[in-house]
Amino acid sequence: MSDQNVLEELKADYRERTPGSKAIWEENRNGLVDGVGSQPRYVEPYPLAIESASGSTIRDVDGNEYVDVFNCFGGVPMLGHAPKAVRNAVGSQLEEGLVYGHPYPKQLEYTNALTDRYPMIDRLRLANSGTEANMNAIRLARSYTGRSKIVKIEGTYHGSFDDVFVSTMPTVDDAGTREAPTPRPNGAGVPDSVLEETIVAPFNDPEALESILHAHEGEIAAIIVEPVPMYATLVEPRDGYLQDVSSLAAEHGAVFVVDEVKTGCRIAYGGACEYYDLEPDLVTLGKAIGGGLPAGAFGGDAEIMREMSFQGRGRGNTENVGTYNANPLLVSAGSAVLEELTPEAYDRLEAHSERIAASFEDVLRDEGITATVQHLPSVGYVHFGIDTDVTDYRTGSGQRFDTAIQYWFAALEAGILPPPKTSAWYLTTAHTDADVDTIVEANKSALAALS
Ligand SMILES: Cc1ncc(COP(=O)(O)O)c(C=O)c1O
C-alpha cells in the first residue's frame, strides 16, 4: 500500500472511533483558533478531545482509553495524572487562599526542594512558565554583562518570546552554513532587529562556537543551551561538550544559561546539571517542577541574581515582575511532587525508558523501517528515516515526519497516546511495568501497520 493510502486508512479508523472529538472540535474552532490551545496540538483531521485522565491513563470523550505517553510535553505531574499528593496539597491550598502577593511559609519549603536538587542555585525567582523563566534569565545576563547579543543553538526551543523564537526548526536550505547558521525567525512577527541580536551556533561543536565568540568578542551577554535538544528530536550532548560551552562562556565573559525546562527534575534528581555534571551560571526550570500547574523558575549565581535585588539601590538594576509569581498553587503542587520524586524513582524511569527504546529498535529492525532511536531516563524519541546518530539539528533534519504522523494514528489505535503527530515518549512514575508492556506491544502493532 502507498504511504498516502496507509495514512488515509488510519485516518478513517480514527474518524470512526472518535466522532465525539470531531463534534467538540467543530464547536471549539469557532472560538479558539483551530480549536486548540497551541499549534503543536492541532492534528489533521481534528484533535482528540479528552474527558479525563488519572495515573497513566487518559480517556477521550468517546470512551477510548490510552496509556498516556504524551503527558502534555512533560507538563503532566511526574507522578502521573491527578496524583493524590497534588490533589491533597492543592485542595488544602484552595482552602487557605489562591494568591496573596506576599511571602508565605510554604515558599521556603519549595525553594529548598529546588536548591537541594540544584546546588549551584544561590538565589532564584519563580515564574509562570518556562518562557518567562528564560526571558528573565536573558534579561539578567544582559543587565549583568552590559551586553545585548545572545547565542542560542540551532534547532532548540526556549519559549515563545522573540529573542529565542529564532532558528528553532529552520529549513536547512535557507539557513546558511552548519558552522555559522543564519538566524531564521520562527514565522512572521519576529522583528529583524532580533535577528541582529540572536546569534545561532550548531550543537555539539565547541570549535564553531569558539569562532562565533571570537567574531563577536565582547558582545555576547549569554549563551543559552538546552542540554538535550528536544524540539522534535532528542540529541544527546557529546562527552565534554557542555563543559566546553561552560568554559568558553567564562573565557568570553558571557553568562552560561542552561535551560532545564524539559530536562529539569525529569532525567535525574538534579536534572541535566546532575546527569552531565554541570555548574552553569543560571539554570531555568519549568514543567516537572510544577506538579501540573503552570511553572517556571530561574536562578543561579548570587552575583548575577543580585541584578534584580533591591540591595539598597532602589528597584535593582533590572526588574522581575509578575502578578502570579511564586503563586501558592504552584508551590503546593510542586512541593508535593518533588517530595515523592526520590532518586530511586529515576532508576525506574530509566529502566522503563530503556525497555521502550530497546523494543522500538528491535521492531524497527524486524519491520525494515529506517529510524534512529535516542532516549534518556523517562524520555525518548524515534527519528524516522534517519540511519545515523543524530548529533545536531542538521543530522536530524531529514526526518520523515510523514511516517511519524502515520505512527501517531496507528499508536492510538493500539491503545497508547504519543505526543500529537510525534514518535516520542514522556514517562511518569505512574507507569507500571504492565503499562510498559502495553507500550511495547502497542509500538509493535503500530509499526507493523506502517510497513
Ligand atoms: C527547553 C524548553 N524551554 C522552554 C520552554 C517553554 O516553556 P513553557 O511552554 O512553559 O513556556 C519549553 C517548552 O516546551 C522547552 O521545551
Residue 438 is part of a domain; what is its CATH number? 3.90.1150.10
Q: Model confidence over 183-221: pLDDT tens digits? A: 999 999 999 999 999 999 999 999 999 999 999 999 999
Question: Mean of the per-residue pLDDT values for the chain?
Answer: 96
Tell whether 445 and 355 lie within a shared domain.
yes
Of the residues 340, 363, 378, the one at which a domain ends: 340
Tell whether 127 and 33 lie within a shared domain.
no
- Residue 351: phi and psi, rounded to 5, are -60, -40
Interatomic CA distance for residues 227 and 203, integer angstroms: 9
- Residue 275: phi and psi, rounded to 5, are -60, -40
Q: Model confidence over 344-403: pLDDT tens digits? A: 999 999 999 999 999 999 999 999 999 999 999 999 999 999 999 999 999 999 999 999
Q: Are 285 and 124 in contact (CB under 8 A)?
A: no
Q: Does ligand 1 lie within 6 Å of residue 262's CB atom?
A: yes
Tell whether 255 and 112 lie within a shared domain.
yes
Strand pairing class (50-54; 371-376): unpaired
Tell whether 131 and 45 lie within a shared domain.
no
Give the cell for residue 70: 504524551
Interatomic CA distance for residues 267 and 230, integer angstroms: 12
Of the residues 286, 319, 340, the one at which a domain ends: 340
Tell whether 100 and 228 lie within a shared domain.
yes
Closest CA to 241 of 271, 206, 216: 206
Nearest CA to ligand 1 atom 13: 159
**What is the SS3 assignment for 65?**
strand
Instruction: Give the Cβ contact number of residue 273 at 10 Å.
Output: 23
Tell whether 353 and 331 lie within a shared domain.
no
DSSP state of 224: E
Q: Are 428 and 79 in contact (CB under 8 A)?
A: yes
Q: Does ligand 1 lie within 6 Å of residue 260's CB atom?
A: no
Interatomic CA distance for residues 227 and 263, integer angstroms: 8
CATH code: domain of residue 221 = 3.40.640.10
Q: Does ligand 1 lie within 6 Å of residue 274's CB atom?
A: no
- Give residue 47's domain range: 3-78+343-450
Task: Name residue 29's amino acid.
Answer: R
Q: Does ligand 1 lie within 6 Å of residue 68's CB atom?
A: no
Tell whether 334 and 405 lie within a shared domain.
no
Band (10; pLDDT cuts 50, 70, 90): very high
Q: Which burial class, exposed, middle or buried, applies to 315 when counting CB atoms under 10 A from its CB (0-12, 13-18, 19+)?
A: exposed
Distance 368 CA to ligand 1 centre (A): 34
Q: Model confidence over 89-111: pLDDT tens digits? A: 999 999 999 999 999 999 999 99
pLDDT value for 196: 98
Tell whether 323 and 192 lie within a shared domain.
yes
Band (437; pLDDT cuts 50, 70, 90): very high
Q: Does ligand 1 lie within 6 Å of residue 229's CB atom?
A: no
Helix (H) or strand (E) segment spanning residue 277: none
Distance 95 CA to ligand 1 centre (A): 30
Query: Please, where are the H alpha helices in 202-240?
Result: 206-215
Of the residues 315, 340, 365, the one at which a domain ends: 340
Q: Does ligand 1 lie within 6 Å of residue 131's CB atom?
A: yes
Q: Does ligand 1 lie within 6 Å of residue 183's CB atom?
A: no
Tell whether 72 and 140 lie within a shared domain.
no
Q: Model confidence over 302-315: pLDDT tens digits? A: 999 999 998 766 67
Nearest CA to ligand 1 atom 4: 158
pLDDT value for 4: 81
**Residue whose CB lies within 8 A of the most ligand 1 atoms, among 128, 157, 233, for a mutation test:** 157
Distance 88 CA to ligand 1 centre (A): 27
Tell whether 128 and 201 lie within a shared domain.
yes
pLDDT value for 316: 84
Residues 6 or more apart whose Cβ sits within 8 Å of residue 312: none
Tell whether 278 and 390 lie within a shared domain.
no
Nearest CA to ligand 1 atom 7: 130
Q: Does ligand 1 lie within 6 Å of residue 226's CB atom?
A: yes
Distance 448 CA to ligand 1 centre (A): 33
Nearest CA to ligand 1 atom 9: 130
Tell whether 168 and 266 lie within a shared domain.
yes
User: What total number of domains does the chain contain?
Assistant: 2
